Every structure is written in C-alpha cells, then in structure tokens.
Structure 1
Amino acid sequence: MGVEDGNVDVAAVDIEVDAFRRLFPLQYYERHFKESIRPDARPLGTSRTTCVTLGDVSSADGSSFVKIGSTLYSPDEGCLAIEFHMPPVCSPLVRPGRHAEEAPVIDKQLSDVILSSGMIHLKELSLISGKAAWMDYLDVYCLDADGSLFDGALLSAVAAFSSCKLSHS
C-alpha cells in the first residue's frame, strides 16, 4: 500500500484518495463536511484568495485577469476551446435564435479527436510554467449543412491548425 521502510509513498496515497473520490463522491465530500474542511484543506468558512486586474490586454476594448486561489487545472498546459457554429443560413432546419442540436455534439467530437490524436499538445502551449499559457480558440462555421458535418469540421480544424503560428517570445 505504498509503505516502504516506514515511509509513506505520497503518490500512492494520492492515487488512492483520487480513486475514493471518484468511486464514492458522496462519502468523500461528507467526510470533509463532517470535519468542517474542504478537500483543499481550507476551513468551510474561508474563501480563496482573489486577485483581479483590469486592462491587461492592450489590444482589447476591455479585459481582465482573475485568479481565485490556485485554480490552475493543469499548470503546465494551455487550453483549447472549440465551438462549432451552425447559423440559420446553413439549413432551413436551423431556426434563428436557437442553437442547432448537432452543434454541441460536433464540438465534443472535434475536441476528443484533436486532443487524442496528438495534433495539439497542450503542454507546448505553456509560456511560463504555472503562470501563463496560450488558449487556442477554434471557431468552425458551417455555411451549408448538406451532410458530413463532422468530416468538414475536422478538415477545417486540421487546415487551420496547420497554418497557425504562435509566438513564444
């Protein structure tokens, strides 16, 4: 169980705690609640340290940077945000003011395929470990929903990423 020569293997304990949290989430959080602490060891009545700065992006009309505690999900990785758009012009079935039902499904499929294929390595988007990273936005617009929506979206994504150049300076 991760104990060698009286020393506890911290990695093994972390894996066991994570497994318990995933397998028994209710019991995991109830245990913390009974002890009046949060899973990150803060007392229940204590909030995270919050920092807000305004105007960090000089090229934007308005910008802000917000940090709440140590909320870096993956401190050595960037992020990829994908959105598949189906405006009403693409099909008579898409109504103005309503999202097409297919759009979120294609969003998820694109994200899964792009990240699992190794086309984008999120670690390569890190600028300063734990402090700054690129966030890539991929917006795909369908102009004619005549079939093969996912294939067209994926081909568009591959083409866009193949010509994308990020400055790491």
Structure 2
Amino acid sequence: MAAETKPAAASGVAGEMEVEAYRRLFPVAFLERHLGESVRIDARRLREARPTTVALGAVSSAHGSALARLGDTAMLASVKLEVMSPPAEHPDEGSVAVEFHMPPICSPLVRPGRPTDVAPVISKALEDVLTSSGMLNLKDLCLITGKASWLAYLDIYCLNADGSLFDAALISAVAAFTHCRFLFFHCTYGHATLPLSHFVQYGNITIIQCCCSFHHEVYNHITSLSFLCESF
C-alpha cells in the first residue's frame, strides 16, 4: 500500500508542476481554456461566489477585531481607539485612519522590505468607502462637540492573498467596526452631582449598508454583519 501511495503522490505533485508551468508560459491559453469550459481556476463555476466566513474578536488587545475569509483569501482587521480633538471643519465628528498591510507571508510575490503597489491603493479605496461615502456615521464618534472625539485606527493585515483583496478587506473592516464598542458621554449640566456612570454609555457606530462587490452573496455578508454582535 505504501509503495502505491508514493508514486500516486509523486504523480500528483508532478501534475501540479506541469499545470503551473503551463499557466506561466501560456497565460492567455490557460485562461481561455477555463473560460471556454465556464470554470474558474479554483474549480468554481463562473457565477459561483467564494465561500465567506467571519470570526469576531480575533485580537483580544484591540477594541474591535475580525478575521474574514473569502475563499482562500484571509484578512485580519483590528480597530484601536484614541481620543483626539475633532477637526475644526467637523466639530461634531470623529475620524478614521485606514492602513492596509501586505506582509511577505501573504504571497510569494511580496518581497521582504519592499512595499507593494497594491497596499496604498486598497488603503485609499477603503478609506473612501468607509468615510467619504458615508458608510460609517462619523458623528457617532463624537464625545463632546468641539472638544473631544474618537480617532479609530483601522489596520487590516492580509494573511493570505488569493484574489478579491478589496472585498475581503472591506468585509473584515465592517466586521471589526461591528464588533467594536464605543464609549459615549451624555453630559447634563443640571445633574453634576450624579455619578460618572450616569453619563457614560456604550454603543456601536452606525453602519450604512453599502456594496462594493458585483456579487449578491458578498453583499449579503456585508449588510448582515450588523447583526453578528448579538451572537457574541
């Protein structure tokens, strides 16, 4: 039995090497063959979405975190909060700083010490979607108008890059904000003698449903994340 297993394993490795060599030498023909058979490279049908999973609370030291998988692509998002003075043009809003990281472990194409060209592009796109589009209600991050607000540092680490990087990063970002609990102050000047706990409340930031993927199943994952916290 062992003697039969070794040749089978060797032939399997050899077959994978031949496929990879053909893919590199003849990329157009390789893709055209799959397209002609209506099959993706990973054996999915053309209209079949990648399986998606989300795990909240992946980083215990963060105020909010999530691990999202979109097929074999994996993203780890974490949110850290810091009190800051709100910008003068928006005294009743907080801020979000987005940073997308692609360490060498995520892909053999990423070289140590060499930043990728994709990372800053995805960072900018995520920041535009989360803030400029109004997907996140930044007014929820205000503590005291004109005095103090939350600055949310959103860091997303690509653990495995296997396509759909932006979609996976967006899902992990929304999940991390969904998991994050913000502290809010409700000051009532006529009740200054009440304990501090009377003025402090915890809540979540409002997330407006937004879709940046063409596939409805990814959209369903993004729009349903606001209900995940009830299970944790």
Shorter-chain TM-score range: 0.5 to 0.7
Q: Counterpart in 1 of 2:117?
A: 101
User: In the alignment, is residue 166 of structure 1 matched against residue 188 of structure 2?
Assistant: no
Residues in 1 aligned to 2:173 and 2:107: alpha-carbon distance in whole angstroms: 21
Q: How many residues align?
A: 103
Deviation at residue 66 of structure 1 after TM alignment: 9.6
Structure 2 unpaired stretches of 5+: 1-82, 185-199, 201-232
Q: Counterpart in 2 of 1:141?
A: 157
Deviation at residue 120 of structure 1 after TM alignment: 1.3
Written as runs of structure 1 = structure 2, the 5 A alignment for 1:17-166 is 72-166=88-182
| 8 Å contact from structure 2 (residues 96, 152) kept in 1 | yes
Residues in 2 aligned to 1:142 and 1:66: alpha-carbon distance in whole angstroms: 28
Deviations 1:61-112 (A, max 9, x none): xxxx998xx9634222100001110001111111111211100110111111
Q: TM-score when scaled to structure 2?
A: 0.41
Alignment-mate amino acid for residue 157 of structure 1: A
Residues in 2 aligned to 1:129 and 1:92: alpha-carbon distance in whole angstroms: 48
Deviation at residue 151 of structure 1 after TM alignment: 0.7
Alignment-mate amino acid for residue 149 of structure 2: A
1:122–1:66 Cα change, 3 Å: closer
Structure 1 unpaired stretches of 5+: 1-64
Deviation at residue 118 of structure 1 after TM alignment: 3.3
Deviations 1:115-159 (A, max 9, x none): 244331111111111110001111110011111100110110111
Alignment-mate amino acid for residue 79 of structure 1: S
Residues in 2 aligned to 1:74 and 1:116: alpha-carbon distance in whole angstroms: 13
Alignment-mate amino acid for residue 74 of structure 1: H
Residues in 2 aligned to 1:166 and 1:71: alpha-carbon distance in whole angstroms: 19
Q: TM-score when scaled to structure 1?
A: 0.55
Residues in 1 aligned to 2:87 and 2:182: alpha-carbon distance in whole angstroms: 25
1:66–1:119 Cα change, 3 Å: closer
SS at match of 1:99: coil
1:109–1:128 Cα change, 3 Å: same
Indicate the structure whose relative CO is greater, using CA pairs within 8 Å and at least 6 residues apart: 2
1:118–1:82 Cα change, 3 Å: same
Residues in 2 aligned to 1:142 and 1:112: alpha-carbon distance in whole angstroms: 19
Structure with bigger strand share is 2
